[in-house]
Amino acid sequence: MYSQFIKELIDLPDVLIQKVRKEEERWIFELSLPEQCPLCPVCLKRTIKMTCKKKQWMHGYAQRIGIFWIELPVERRRCGTCGMTFSTSYPAIAPRSVATDAFQQWVAQSCIGTSIQAVARMLKLPYTTVERWFYTHAPSFLSNEIQPKAVCVDEFAFRKGHDYGVAIMDAETGEVYAIEAGKNEEAIGRALAHVSGSVQYVVSDLAPAMKKAIQGICPEATHVVDYFHVIQLFTDALERCRKYLDKGGKKHGNVRYVCRLLSQCPEKLIEEERQIVREWCNESDYLKSVYQSLQHFRYVSKSKDVQQAKRRLEAWIHRYSFCPCSVVRAIAKSLVKRTDEIISCILSPYSNGKMEGTNNKIKLIKRRGYGYRNIQRFALRVRLETANIL
């Protein structure tokens, strides 16, 4: 029974257990293999044993005994035909390593969901050793079959105002597939190249570089503009108008109240609040134009099919392209350049909301790690955190 327990603990079916001993705080299992004669790796002829010495490897971890080691004989053999000399090796055990592959993979898995430093302290191992094992074996935990139907593309800041990156995320599962440094068209194209084979929908903001990269890398995919960024064109104009007319004074509470009244749908306001908005619009033609264009676009966004969306969007553009208000004309000009993307935005169920939340998670991972050695390691950590491996 005791021998069977040790056999299951070691999990090496082909070895024979000789004995167990303890050296100071280290538990060592002496193992051996059945008698065999390794062949020469060059000519595949029989070899002769020259010397033999025992070597130890870390192989596992148990709650009560900590790290336990295995000890196996390593023979130095010589081929009698070609004179080749070599050392015997075992499957999944590198001859120059201090730990078996199974133990290294277990340590790498233990680092997912926690910090490398915490695992190194628990096992009483050097931080650099655990870090090397983690970045060696962690890529094998991720699936190589990347075939998303819809992806979100967005930029984030490594360092605000200085270094930026681009992230590609599955719009349905929330898994990040790639991170590239930069936010220009080339960086976006490199990130999209990872998913260009299967993607059908690409969701992005209104940046011109996004549109050019998507057309170049994924020409057959449907480009969907995020609805939030379209509405943001109107809300930014309303915010500038609020500051110009100084509605709500300087108090934070009043500012939020005014912003809510201007950006909210009229149906969701009570009659008293709607009357307040009417008075503001009567005071300023600028505010009235922006507010009316926003409510009219919300009516356009309620379209249920392509033809209805095209008809309503064309009517909106025809009405506001020559509006006396310059800000509304600028918004109309922006929408004219992206008519197809706006229609896809109205009819598609996808948005960039999940990507915006993931951007915050990426920043938290960056701060928690106090920086990373290179972008490849940072991208690997983000992929592991968002791939739901735990």
What's 163's domain CATH number? 3.30.420.10
Tell me, yes or no, whether 75 and 162 share the same domain. Answer: no
Tell me, yes or no, whether 211 and 117 share the same domain. Answer: no
Tell me, yes or no, whether 238 and 343 share the same domain. Answer: yes
Count the domains in the chain: 4
Q: Does the reported pTM lie above 0.85?
A: no
Q: What is the pLDDT of residue 11?
A: 63
Tell which phi-psi region holds residue 23, choosing left (phi > 0), alpha (psi between -120 and 50) or beta. Answer: beta
User: Average of pLDDT values for 290-315?
Assistant: 90
Average pLDDT, the chain: 84
Q: What is the pLDDT of residue 5?
A: 47
Higher pLDDT, 34 or 353: 353
- Distance of alpha carbon 173 from alpha carbon 152, whole angstroms: 11
Contact in structure between 130 and 111 (CB atoms under 8 Å): yes
- Structural domain span for residue 331: 227-347
Tell me, yes or no, whether 219 and 285 share the same domain. Answer: no
Tell me, yes or no, whether 360 and 327 share the same domain. Answer: no
- For residue range 337-370, what is the model confidence (pLDDT) as tens digits? 888 889 988 888 888 888 888 888 888 888 877 7
Binned at pLDDT 50, 70 and 90, residue 2 comes out as very low
Tell me, yes or no, whether 197 and 234 share the same domain. Answer: no
Share of the chain above pLDDT 90, in %: 9
Higher pLDDT, 316 or 94: 316
* Number of neighbours of residue 241 by Cβ within 10 angstroms: 21
- Domain boundary (141, 165, 194) is at 141
At residue 22, the 3 state secondary structure works out as strand
Tell me, yes or no, whether 11 and 111 share the same domain. Answer: no
* Number of neighbours of residue 153 by Cβ within 10 angstroms: 27
Tell me, yes or no, whether 27 and 85 share the same domain. Answer: yes
- Domain boundary (96, 131, 161) is at 96
Binned at pLDDT 50, 70 and 90, residue 201 comes out as very high
User: Average of pLDDT values for 177-205?
Assistant: 89
Tell me, yes or no, whether 259 and 201 share the same domain. Answer: no
Q: Which of 297-301, 369-373, 379-383 has the highest mean pLDDT?
A: 297-301
Point out which residues pair with 21 in neighbouring strands.
28
Tell me, yes or no, whether 123 and 211 share the same domain. Answer: no
18 pLDDT exceeds 80? no
Tell me, yes or no, whether 290 and 355 share the same domain. Answer: no
- Distance of alpha carbon 146 from alpha carbon 199, whole angstroms: 10
Sheet of strand 201-204: strand arrangement: 176-181, 163-170, 150-159, 201-204, 222-225
Tell me, yes or no, whether 79 and 121 share the same domain. Answer: no
User: Average of pLDDT values for 150-162?
Assistant: 85
Point out which residues pair with 167 in neighbouring strands.
154, 179
* Number of neighbours of residue 69 by Cβ within 10 angstroms: 19
- For residue range 77-131, what is the model confidence (pLDDT) as tens digits? 888 888 888 787 777 777 778 888 888 888 988 888 778 889 999 888 999 999 8
First-last CA distance in the chain? 33
- Domain boundary (116, 141, 166) is at 141
User: Average of pLDDT values for 159-179?
Assistant: 86
- Pairing assessment for the beta strands 163-170 and 176-181 based on DSSP bridges: antiparallel
7 pLDDT exceeds 60? no
